[in-house]
Amino acid sequence: MRVLHSVAVLTCFIGPALVEGKDWKVFCMPNRHLDVGFNHLPHDALQQGYPDSIEDFENVGTLRALLVRRLSQSHPLEARFKWTFDATWQIEQFEKFLPGRMDEVRQLVNAGEFSYSPIYVGLHTLYLTNEQLLRMAAYGRRLENQGFRQSVAAVQADVPTIGWGMATGLAESGIKYLLKGTYYSSPYSRNVFQVEAGPLFRWTAPDGRKVLCFYHDGYSVMTGGAGEGRPSESLTETIVMRQVERYEKLAAAGKWPFDAFPMFGSEGDRGLPNRSNCDFIRSWNTSHPGVQLRMSTVEEFFEYIESRFSAQVPDGVSGGWGISYDLVEGNAVKPGAVVRRTDHWLTAGESLAALAALRFGRPYPAESLFQAWQKQLLYHEHSFGMRDGPGPEGRRMYAWKIALAEQAGAAARLALDEALRAFAAEIPNHGENRVAVFNSLSFPVSDIAEIRLEGKLAQGRLAVVDVQTGRPALSERGWAAGGMVLRFRADDVPALGYRTYRIEQAAAAEAPAAVADEPASTALENEFLRLVLAADGTMASLVDRHTGKEMLDLNSPHRGNQFIFMNDAWQPASPRRATIRSAPRGSLEATLEVQAEPTGIFPALSSRYTLYAGLNRLEIENSFTKAPGRSGSNETVFYAFPFAAPKGRFCLDMPGVVARYADDFRPETDWTIMPMALGNIDPSLLR
């Protein structure tokens, strides 16, 4: 591994303070932004002799920070090098590949010369689950157990979007401060300059807890603030002057009542730390008493504000910042589906494995579950997807994504299966064919269970009986993944518990529910709902049978589940005709299958509508095949659901909060940023 040595740059300035009558303390926070998603560095970086893997590249950055810290020890205290790790993933890689140097890092963190954001990576917070949100700082807490000083200051750089629930996640993780360093030369982040209360405020979480938040600058301000940065550029008089002028304007507007401001980020995306910033600060401070620069960690700045200006920090800022290029995470569809499934497996496996450990003394797979959660978080890293295209970079990125998703899924499934076997071994069967249905949730559940039939059970007619009540359960045979299965409705499975069923050779249970009752096979009905499809396969009507009320807005220009394709000129198209057929019906369910006509770049469009006996829900499964096309185009797909709720409140179930649209989104949110930034679409077409 090569370590590049820095060349000191000595610059002297002679003259009065920059700002007459106003003394500023400027907290300079050296930092290099982490982009894990760029796992194969761009060609220009490789040409400079940098390592080929992101892990090695980040380790070189850490080694360089350690070197610069040593080289600056003879400087005045305020000019001695300090360093803030952008995320704990950087420390994890350093420990993995250079464990012999970890004591040095630990000592510097504990001495306050180095600091770290306890969050694992820079996250797409709107894509997280609640469980992931609560685990985003888990590796930071692991560092505490290894003797590191606790970090209470988090960094989220480059991603302008932060969901409101993140405030809860931060507070729950013991984090008091959040610095948002955004790519502010990009159209993605126009919203970050419009926070009405000012750039520094107390962010109130949905549960009322508060986090002191700075949301204003870019993440390479010490190099000129160009967002991704120009690697290893040094502080200059122009850079300092520009920041002083900005905060003078904020102070004049009543939005910055403080005598200090931060300058976060020295190395952008790919720079390496050097001593020139230390030299600049040493020289600058001797001739500019009115604007004093100091090396700092992120925590130091927040602690300074809290200790001197706590009463002057704006309070009561609530809500989240809507969308950004978080949307690019959706362009790796298969891994995304695996990740969502793994989230369910992990939460179930964790709960049941804990119960198995408590009740039966089974080993609890703490480390494998921890690593699985870390992989889930890494999948949601903010740059993971920006290079998903048809070329070799996109294929490599996709391969890494699917590998992460499958590794986490395998660990989750193993923990879940072992816990289920532990419980099953303790449940007596009294010589009968019995099956236990488990519920890992905190409330009772009624749903469809499925088991594979083998041997004698695959022959003859079967009945399923609830052992506790003696009542038969609705059941039917079917085929799945090439084998015969028995599906039945398990009613009222208790929270964090199970219900046992006996399988008998007998007549199958009969039920009149869930029938397709129209001759033309365009309607479904059970005891709760009645669905009628239109000729194009969309939902023409959905009636709540208990109240008799229509649930769709029949005056809407769109029908329920209407496929809307917006082409690259932002013009809509939808199928006009479809083939509708009724799938073979059993006692448990009835399904209508729709094959719509080709539309736009989609040669195949299909939908499945399913009602179940005894369950108050309609399942809709949509799928489409996209013709090969260019990457990064502006084509967009929507499914319309015009519910009849003229006075209704629409909410989004988001990580950490059920948010009201648009009340719980910050007014600075610009919902047109994403389409315009990716394709230069005329904003008038979107508004």
For 211-246, write each residue's pLDDT tens digit.
999 987 788 889 865 444 445 578 999 999 999 999
Is pLDDT of 352 > 60? yes
Distance CA 529, CA 533 (A): 13
Using the structure block, give the residue that is written with the tokens 């306050």. 112
**Residues facing 261 on adjacent strands:** 26
Distance CA 91, CA 113 (A): 15
Residue 41 has a pLDDT of 53
Q: Which amino acid is at 21?
A: G
Distance CA 155, CA 182 (A): 10
- Residues 574, 565: contact at Cβ < 8 Å? yes
Residue 649 has a pLDDT of 81
Pairing of strands 177-181, 210-215: parallel
Distance CA 35, CA 674 (A): 20
Residues 305-312, mean pLDDT to the nearest whole number: 97
Distance CA 362, CA 138 (A): 24
- Residues 183, 160: contact at Cβ < 8 Å? yes
Residue 474 structure tokens: 């609705």
Based on its alpha-carbon atoms, the radius of gyration of the chain, rounded to whole angstroms, reads 29
C-alpha separations of 596 from 521, 535, 605 in Å: 15, 10, 5
Helix (H, G, I), strand (E, B) or coil at 613: coil
For residue 376, give every residue at least 6 positions away whose Cβ sits within 8 Å of its Cβ, in sequence order, or none. 132, 339, 342, 343, 346, 408
Distance CA 287, CA 261 (A): 20
Residue 585 has a pLDDT of 76
Residue 329: alpha-carbon gap to chain centroid? 9
Residue 636 has a pLDDT of 80
Task: Name which of 266, 278, 250 is nearest 80 in CA terms.
Answer: 278
Using the structure block, give the residue that is written with the tokens 């130091």. 300
Residues 607-619, mean pLDDT to the nearest whole number: 95
DSSP 681: -
% of the chain residues with pLDDT over 70: 82
Using the structure block, give the residue that is written with the tokens 């692991």. 142
C-alpha separations of 526 from 5, 543, 677 in Å: 74, 11, 46
Residue 453: alpha-carbon gap to chain centroid? 39
Residues 178-195, mean pLDDT to the nearest whole number: 59
Confidence band of 202 (pLDDT split at 50, 70, 90): very high
% of the chain residues with pLDDT over 90: 59
Residues 42-57, mean pLDDT to the nearest whole number: 59
Least confidently predicted of 102-106, 301-305, 646-650: 646-650
Pick the CATH number of 523-642 from 3.40.50.150, 3.40.190.10, 3.30.1300.10, 2.70.98.30: 2.70.98.30
Task: Name which of 80, 87, 81 is nearest 32 in CA terms.
Answer: 87
Confidence band of 328 (pLDDT split at 50, 70, 90): low
Q: State the average pLDDT for the chain.
A: 84
Task: Name which of 231, 227, 229, 220 is nearest 4 in CA terms.
Answer: 231
Laid out side by side, the sheet with 539-544 consists of 523-525, 529-533, 539-544, 549-550
Using the structure block, give the residue that is written with the tokens 């209360």. 197
Confidence band of 332 (pLDDT split at 50, 70, 90): low
Confidence band of 183 (pLDDT split at 50, 70, 90): low
Distance CA 110, CA 106 (A): 6
Residue 305 structure tokens: 């504000």
CATH class assigned to 24-325: alpha beta
Least confidently predicted of 21-35, 534-548, 621-635: 621-635
Q: Which CATH architecture has domain 434-505?
A: Sandwich (2.60)
Q: Which amino acid is at 297?
A: T
pLDDT tens digits along 357-386: 999 999 999 999 999 999 999 988 887 755
Residue 477 structure tokens: 């045979």
Residue 629 has a pLDDT of 61
Q: Give 291-308 as a 3 state SS string.
A: EEEEECCHHHHHHHHHHH
Is pLDDT of 427 > 70? yes
- Residues 353, 241: contact at Cβ < 8 Å? no
- Residues 134, 103: contact at Cβ < 8 Å? no
Q: DSSP for 21-69?
A: T--EEEEEE------TT--B--HHHHHTT--SBHHHHHHHHHHHHHHHH
Residue 124 has a pLDDT of 84
Residues 526-536, mean pLDDT to the nearest whole number: 96
Pick the CATH number of 332-426 from 3.30.70, 1.20.1270, 2.160.20, 2.60.40: 1.20.1270
Distance CA 254, CA 243 (A): 17
Q: DSSP for 124-173?
A: -GGG--HHHHHHTTHHHHHHHHTTPPPP-EEEEES---B-THHHHHHHHT
Domain ranges of the chain: 24-325, 332-426, 434-505, 523-642
pLDDT tens digits along 562-572: 999 988 788 89
What is the number of other CB atoms lying within 10 angstroms of the CB of residue 15? 8
- Residues 408, 339: contact at Cβ < 8 Å? yes
What sign results for the dihedral spanned by CA atoms 308, 311, 312, 317?
positive
Largest CA distance in the chain: 98
Distance CA 41, CA 39 (A): 6
pLDDT tens digits along 3-13: 333 333 333 33
Distance CA 390, CA 177 (A): 40
**pTM of the prediction?**
0.85
Residue 388 has a pLDDT of 47
Helix (H, G, I), strand (E, B) or coil at 520: coil
